[in-house]
Structures are given as structure tokens and as C-alpha cells.
Amino acid sequence: MHRNKNHSRLNAASGAILTGLALLASAVTSVGQAEAATDTVTCATVSVRPPGGSSIKLAGTTCFHSYGDYFTVKDELADGYHIEVWWESDSGPMGECRNIAGAGKTTKCDYDLKEGSYIWFNAMVIDNATSIMGGATKHAVA
């Protein structure tokens, strides 16, 4: 009889340990999924002296979002110009994303880039089809 009592305690303890391990495994899996879905956002800006203006102002902001491989391009200034991001990747693709929607508007361009590839990009101020100002080159990882 004493033996069955110890056996019952052992089964109860084993069940509690297995339940604890299952909860731990679930928590580790959830953390791993959250880390995989982390979005690293890298932004570049460009400034310009508006026509007839006397000071340089922020003209546009472009950002690369690593989770989803997309750029956002925001026109920050009502100056008659538009904003583009020019980009290239060490895995081959290159391109541009234009925001011709006007000041205060943001355009999104989606791409399917090779995971881990390096991206270089610049925010550009464009007058018709001519680049009149470029911002500093930024680097990101897809």
C-alpha cells in the first residue's frame, strides 16, 4: 500500500514537470516567432532650398522596413518637387520608388528581396525627371 502512495506522488510530480516543460517550450517558441518578426526600420532624409526660398528645409524622408521588404517615401515639403528613393542590393536587384502624391503624403513600395542581403539607398529630390538633390547613402539588411 505504501508503495502505491509513492507511485501516485511520482506520477503527479512527473505530470507537473511535463506540464511545466510544455509551457516553457511554448514560451520559447513564442519568443522565437516574435524575434523573427522584428522590423528594423532605416531612414534617410533629403533637404532642399525651395524655389524662391532663403533657407534649406527637409524635403523628404525614405525608410526601408526589413520585415516585409518595403520602402516608404514621404514628401515633407510643398515645393513643387517630388521625392524618390533610389536603391540597390548586393544580391542583384535595384530600383526606385516615387512619391508623386504630393506634400504630406506617403507612398509604399513592396519588394521581395533575398533575406540577409545588403541594401544601399538614397532619398532624392526630383524636379520633373531631373535629380536636383540627394541625401546621404543609408545601409540596411533585408
Local confidence band at 101 (pLDDT 50, 70, 90 cut-offs): very high
Sheet harboring 106-110: ordered strands across?
Answer: 41-48, 57-65, 70-75, 106-110
Contact 57, 47 (CB under 8 A): yes
Which pLDDT does position 26 carry in this prediction? 45
Give the rounded percent of residues in the chain with a pLDDT score beyond 70: 74
Quote the DSSP letter at residue 127: E
| pTM score of the predicted model | 0.73
Query: For 95, how many CA atoms within 13 A lie in the half-sphere containing its CB?
Result: 13
Assign 90 to helix, strand or coil.
coil
Local confidence band at 85 (pLDDT 50, 70, 90 cut-offs): very high
